[in-house]
A and B are shown apart, each in its own frame.
Chain A
Amino acid sequence: MSDERSDGLGDADAAQSRYDQARYVENGEYEPLLSEKDRTRVEIGGSGDDGNGADSEDGGSPLPDDLTRDSLELPELSEPELARHYTRLSQMIYGIDSGPYPLGSCTMKYNPKFTEDVAALPSAAVHPDRSEGSVQGTLELLYRLQDYLGRIGGMDAVTLQPPAGAAGEFVGIRVAAAYHEHNGEGHRDEVIVPESAHGTNFASAALGGYDVVSLPSDDEGRVDLEALEAALSENTAALMLTNPNTLGLFERDITEIAEMVHDVGGLLYYDGANLNALLGRARPGDMGFDVMHYNVHKTFATPHGGGGPGAGPVGVVDELAPFLPAPRVRERGEESKSGDSIYERFEPEHTIGKVHGFDGNWLVLVKAFAYIARLGDEGLADASASAVLNANYLAERIDYDVPYGPFHHEFVASAGEQDAADVAKRMLDYGVHPPTTKWPEIVPEALMTEPTEVESKDTLDRLAAAFNAVAGEDDATLEAAPERTTARRIDQTSAARSPRLSWQALDTEDES
Chain B
Amino acid sequence: MHGSHATGSPYAPHTEEDRTAMLEAVGTESVEELFDIPADVRFDGDFDIDARTERETRRLVRSMLGRNDDLTELLGRGHYGYYVPSLVDHLADRSEFLTSYTQYQPEISQGFLQALFEYQSLLVELTGLEVANCSMYDAATALGEAATLADRVRDTTGHRVLVPNRLREERRSTLENYVAGTDLDVETYPGDDGNVDLAGLEDTVDEEVVMIYAENPTVRGTIEERLDAIGDLAEDNDALFALGSDPIALSLLERPVDVGADVVVGDASVLGLPTSYGMGLGLFATREDYLRQVPGRLVGASEDATDRRAFTLTLQTREQHIRRERATSNICTNQAWVALRTAMHAAVLGPSGMVDLAERDVRRARDLADRLDDIVGVRAPVHDRHHLREFVARTDQPARAVVDDLEKRGFAVHVVGDHEIQICIAGVSDDRIDRFAAAVEEVTR
Query: Are A490 and B107 closer than 8 Å at their CB atoms?
Result: yes
Q: A94-B96, A366-B61, A503-B117 are in contact. Are A361 and B279 (CB under 8 A)?
A: yes
Given contacts A439-B321, A490-B310, contact A207 B253 (CB under 8 A): no
Roughly how many angstroms separate A138 CA and B116 CA in the complex, as a whole number?
Answer: 31
Residues of A contacting B66 in the complex (Cβ-Cβ under 8 angstroms): 123, 137
A385 to B126, CA, bound (A): 50
Q: Does A14 contact B (CB under 8 A)?
A: no
10 closest A-B pairs by CB = A382-B8, A358-B278, A305-B337, A209-B181, A376-B51, A357-B140, A307-B336, A95-B99, A89-B111, A92-B111
A252 touches B101 (CB 8 A): no
* A124 in contact with B49 given A206-B181, A425-B107, A489-B305 (CB within 8 Å): no
Identify A137's interface contact among B68, B107, B138, B140, CB under 8 A: B68
Q: In the complex, A88→B347 CA distance in Å?
A: 15
Quick one: CB contact mask for B25-45 with A, threshold 8 Å, 1 for yes? Answer: 111100110111110111100
| Residues in B whose Cβ lies below 8 Å from that of A53 | 366
Neighbour of A356 across the interface among B13, B122, B138, B326, CB < 8 A: B138
11 further A-B pairs in the complex, CB-CB below 8 A; given A74-B354, A305-B338? A63-B362, A66-B254, A89-B111, A89-B114, A114-B57, A128-B278, A210-B181, A305-B97, A308-B333, A382-B8, A501-B301
In the assembled complex, B215 has its CB within 8 A of some CB on chain A: no
Q: Is A167 in contact with chain B by the CB < 8 A criterion?
A: yes
* CB atoms of B36 and A252 under 8 A apart: yes
Closest to A453 in B: B12
Contact of A499 among B87, B99, B258, B300 (CB under 8 A): B300
Say whether, besides A69-B258, A131-B412, A75 and B347 are in contact (CB < 8 Å). yes
> When the two chains form their complex, are residues A74 and B346 in contact, meaning their CB atoms are under 8 A apart?
yes
Q: Could you write out 15 A-B pairs with CB less than 8 Å apart?
A: A40-B350, A67-B223, A72-B354, A73-B351, A96-B99, A163-B279, A282-B41, A306-B101, A308-B335, A359-B278, A389-B19, A490-B311, A491-B304, A494-B303, A501-B314
Docked complex Cα distance between A489 and B69 (Å):
53
Which residue from chain B places its CB closest to the CB of A395 in the assembled complex?
B26
User: Which of A76-84, A223-231, A465-473 lines the interface with chain B?
Assistant: A76-84
The reply to whether A363 and B276 form a contact with Cβ atoms under 8 Å apart is yes
Residue-by-residue, is B320-336 near A (CB-CB < 8 Å gives 1, otherwise 0)?
A: 11111111011111111
The interface residues of chain B lying within 8 Å CB-to-CB of A369 are 61
Chain A nearest Cβ from B28, distance in angstroms: 8
Known: A130-B412, A200-B320, A490-B303. A106 touches B101 (CB 8 A): yes
Least CB distance from A161 to B in Å reads: 10
Give chain A interface residues in 106-128, CB to chain B under 8 Å.
106, 108-112, 114, 116-118, 120-121, 123-128
Measured in the bound complex, the distance between the Cα atoms of B335 and A163 in whole Å is 9
B residues in contact with A101, CB < 8 Å: 101
Q: Does A476 contact B (CB under 8 A)?
A: no
Q: Does A164 contact B (CB under 8 A)?
A: yes
User: Mask for B53-94, Cβ within 8 A of A = 1, else 0?
Assistant: 110011011101111111101010111010000010101011
* Interface status of A152 (Cβ within 8 A of chain B): yes
Of B27, B107, B280, the most chain A CB neighbours within 10 A belong to: B107
Q: In the complex where A375-B9, A377-B48 touch, is A308 in contact with B334 (Cβ < 8 A)? A: yes
Residues of chain A within 8 A (CB-CB) of B50 are: 376-377
- List the B side residues contacting A453 at CB < 8 Å: 9, 11-12
Q: Is A455 an interface residue, CB under 8 A from the partner?
A: yes
Instruction: Give Cα distance in the complex from A254 to B276, angstroms.
Output: 40
Q: Are A167 and B137 in contact (CB under 8 A)?
A: yes
Complex-state Cα separation, A502 to B288, whole angstroms: 12
A contact residues around B412 at 8 Å (CB): 127, 129-131, 134
Contact check, A379 vs B114: say whether CB atoms are below 8 A apart: no
Q: How far is the CB of B73 from chain A (nearest CB, A)?
A: 5
In the complex, chain B residues whose CB is within 8 Å of the CB of A93: 96-97, 100, 108-112
Within 8 A of B (CB), among A42-70: 42, 44, 53, 55, 61-64, 66-70
1-20 of chain B: CB within 8 A of chain A: 6-14, 18-19
Contact of A69 with B51 in the complex, beta carbons under 8 Å:
no
Among residues of B, the one whose C-beta sits closest to the C-beta of A167 is: B137
Q: Is the CB of A281 within 8 A of B137?
A: no
**Inter-subunit contact A200/B22 (CB<8 Å):** no
Contacts of A126 in B (CB 8 A): 68, 73, 275, 277
| Residues 107-160 (chain B) with a chain A CB within 8 angstroms | 107-112, 114-118, 120-122, 124-126, 130-132, 134-135, 137-141, 148
A114 neighbours in B (Cβ, 8 Å)? 54, 57-58
Which residues of chain B are near A304, meaning CB under 8 Å?
A: 99-102, 333
A131 to B306, CA, bound (A): 58
Is B407 interfacial (CB-CB < 8 Å)? Answer: yes
The reply to whether B67 and A282 form a contact with Cβ atoms under 8 Å apart is no
A200 touches B61 (CB 8 A): no
A393 near B305 (CB under 8 angstroms)?
no
Given A89-B112, A112-B54, A388-B31: A208 and B180 interface contact (C-beta under 8 Å): yes
Q: Is the CB of B67 within 8 A of A136?
A: yes
Chain A nearest CB from B270 CB (Å) reads 13
Would B52 and A203 count as touching, CB distance under 8 A? no
Does B192 make an interface contact (CB < 8 A)?
A: no
The answer to whether A360 and B337 have CB atoms under 8 Å apart is no
Please, which residue of chain B has its CB at the minimum distance from the CB of A492? B312
Are A357 and B315 in contact, CB atoms less than 8 angstroms apart? no
Partner of B253, one of A68, A408, A494: A68
Indicate if the CB atoms of B99 and A97 lie closer than 8 Å: yes
Q: A382 contacts B223, CB within 8 Å?
A: no
Chain B residues with Cβ below 8 Å from A33 are 114, 118
Q: Which of B61, B98, B301, B310 contacts A373 (CB 8 A)?
A: B61
A482: interface (CB < 8 Å) = yes
